[in-house]
């Protein structure tokens, strides 16, 4: 079914029915989704105002002239706000293009709960240096604006309703990307439309699983999948109480997690429950990087402190190993994820060889392919 009906009343009723059905089937604290849908938080601008975007931009479509642009740097960074008129929803975006004018693969990145366009910045920069562009999206309703109303508002934002909105944000972004790629006079023309990937951290990883084709096994569930992506990478993913639908994901999926990768707003204090995603995925095109001593913040890619805020609000202190081992974790995450994209999106034989005999693992680290 689709939620994109021209009849706004009918669309709202269909969405409500779908959400309640989906919520009953996917509820899990580990997945960050509630058994019932909480009341929507007060409307706020999408994460405040993204850096580099004028305050008025978040209240309407981006100007026809498009993005603000940082010149002279490498990579080239541009950003703006798209307006989905069907849903009356603004979607801030940030495009990071590698230096030069050659065609490039591109990865869409979805931030974690309470995050922003800054989420995954370290990973995006590493990928750009390796010749892979990134398109970071910001999701109103589950972005940094939710911190204004405290921890309860943050927990309420971890809902099925927000997951559905995020999935449609990604679908709309791909539509915009494909449309703009046809214009040779824009930076979008460099994007190889047959070399697109999708990634995200935490709630962004849930978004990634949904877009990859997670089967919610309900006729009324909205279709959040996007067929244009060739491969995926989920940072701190989780399966929830009903992992069976993950078996429907057949395209390549990289999972990245670690021993201290607990749920910042839940009861899970280590990352063992996150291994279920890799274990449940069908054999043939999956991989997992497990890092000993890595916590939830280790996989965020810098730029957003959502997990740290949550831990402090709950009276939890960050343990020592993640900070002590941060350089090791960061280097390995960058190396593995970059080679994953170069393999799966570009068919790079050297990247394939490096991943077959991965070097640099420390005691307790694991690299699995199956």
> What b/e sequence results for 306-332 when a residue is b if at least 16 CB atoms lie within 10 Å of its CB, and e otherwise?
bbbbbbeeeeeeeeebbeebeebbbeb
What is the span of the domain harbouring residue 350?
8-52+70-369
Tell me, yes or no, whether 2 lies in a domain: no
φ, ψ of residue 251 in degrees (nearest 5): -80, 160
**pLDDT tens digit string along 78-93?**
999 999 999 999 999 9
DSSP 8-state code for residue 161: H
Tell me, yes or no, whether 134 lies in a domain: yes
Tell me, yes or no, whether 1 lies in a domain: no
Tell me, yes or no, whether 112 lies in a domain: yes
**pLDDT tens digit string along 101-153?**
999 999 999 999 999 999 999 999 999 999 999 999 999 999 999 988 888 88
**pLDDT tens digit string along 185-223?**
999 999 999 999 999 999 999 999 999 999 987 878 899
State both tokens at 222: 């909205």
Q: What confidence score (pLDDT) does residue 51 get?
A: 37
Tell me, yes or no, whether 63 lies in a domain: no
> Residues for the chain: how many in total?
370
Tell me what the mean pLDDT of segment 50-67 comes to.
34
**pLDDT tens digit string along 17-56?**
344 335 434 444 333 342 222 222 332 333 333 433 333 3
Higher pLDDT, 320 or 134: 134
Would you say 327 and 360 are in contact if contact means Cβ atoms under 8 Å apart? Answer: no
> What b/e sequence results for 168-201 when a residue is b if at least 16 CB atoms lie within 10 Å of its CB, and e otherwise?
bbbbbbbebbeeebeeeeebbebbeeebbbbbbb
Alpha helices (H) along 193-348: 203-212, 275-280, 306-313, 320-324, 326-346
Instruction: Indicate whether 10 pLDDT > 80.
Output: no
Tell me, yes or no, whether 146 lies in a domain: yes
Would you say 209 and 246 are in contact if contact means Cβ atoms under 8 Å apart? Answer: yes
DSSP 8-state code for residue 297: G
At a CB cut-off of 8 Å and minimum separation 6, what does 332 contact?
A: 289, 291, 360, 361, 365
**pLDDT tens digit string along 214-258?**
998 787 889 999 999 999 999 999 998 779 999 999 999 999 999
Instruction: Indicate whether 270 pLDDT > 70.
Output: yes
Q: How many CB atoms lie within 10 A of CB 282?
A: 13
Q: What confidence score (pLDDT) does residue 82 get?
A: 98
CATH number at residue 13: 3.40.50.1820
Q: What confidence score (pLDDT) does residue 312 get?
A: 65
Q: Look over the chain and give the mean of its residue pLDDT values, rounded to a whole number.
A: 82
Tally of domains within the chain: 1
Residue 319's pLDDT band, with cuts at 50, 70 and 90, is confident
Tell me, yes or no, whether 177 lies in a domain: yes
Residue 170's pLDDT band, with cuts at 50, 70 and 90, is very high
Instruction: Indicate whether 61 pLDDT > 50.
Output: no
Q: What confidence score (pLDDT) does residue 69 get?
A: 40
* CA–CA separation, 37 and 22 (whole Å): 10
**pLDDT tens digit string along 332-347?**
999 999 999 999 999 9
Beta bridge partners of 233: 199, 254
**What is the pTM assigned to this prediction?**
0.82
Beta bridge partners of 179: none
Tell me, yes or no, whether 59 lies in a domain: no
Q: Helices (H), strands (E): how many in the chain?
A: 10, 10
């Amino acid at each position: 079914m689709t939620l994109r009906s021209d009849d706004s009343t009918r669309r709202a009723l269909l969405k409500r029915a779908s959400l309640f059905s989906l919520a009953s089937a996917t509820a899990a604290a580990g997945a960050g989704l509630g058994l019932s849908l909480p009341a929507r938080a007060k409307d706020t601008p999408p994460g405040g105002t993204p850096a580099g975007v004028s305050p008025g931009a978040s209240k309407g479509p981006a100007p026809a002239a498009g993005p603000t642009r940082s010149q002279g740097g490498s990579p080239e960074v541009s950003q703006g706000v798209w307006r989905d008129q069907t849903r009356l929803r603004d979607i801030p975006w940030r495009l990071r293009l590698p230096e030069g004018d050659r065609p490039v693969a591109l990865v869409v990145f979805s931030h974690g709960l309470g995050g922003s366009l800054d989420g995954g910045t370290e990973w995006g920069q590493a990928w750009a240096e390796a010749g892979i562009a990134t398109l970071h999206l910001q999701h109103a309703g589950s972005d940094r604006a939710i911190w204004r109303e405290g921890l309860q508002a943050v927990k309420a934002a971890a809902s099925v309703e927000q997951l559905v909105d995020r999935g449609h944000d990604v679908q709309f972004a791909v539509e915009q990307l494909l449309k703009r790629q046809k214009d040779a006079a824009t930076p979008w023309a460099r994007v190889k439309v047959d070399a697109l990937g999708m990634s995200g951290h935490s709630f962004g990883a849930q978004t990634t699983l949904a877009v990859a084709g997670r089967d919610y096994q309900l006729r009324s569930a909205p279709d959040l999948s996007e067929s244009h992506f060739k491969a995926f990478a989920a940072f701190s993913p989780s399966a929830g109480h009903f992992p069976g639908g993950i078996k429907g994901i057949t395209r390549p999926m990289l999972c990245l997690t670690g021993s201290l990768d607990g749920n910042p707003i839940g009861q899970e204090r280590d990352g063992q429950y996150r291994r279920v995603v890799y274990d449940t995925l069908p054999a043939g095109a999956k991989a997992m990087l497990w890092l000993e001593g890595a916590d939830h913040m280790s996989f965020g890619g810098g730029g957003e402190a959502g997990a740290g805020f949550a831990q402090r609000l709950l009276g939890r202190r960050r343990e020592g190993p993640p900070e002590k081992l941060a350089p090791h974790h960061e280097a390995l995450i960058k190396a593995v994820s970059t080679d994953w994209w170069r393999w799966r999106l570009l068919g790079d034989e050297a990247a394939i060889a490096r991943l077959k005999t991965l070097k640099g693992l420390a005691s307790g680290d694991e690299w699995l392919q199956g």
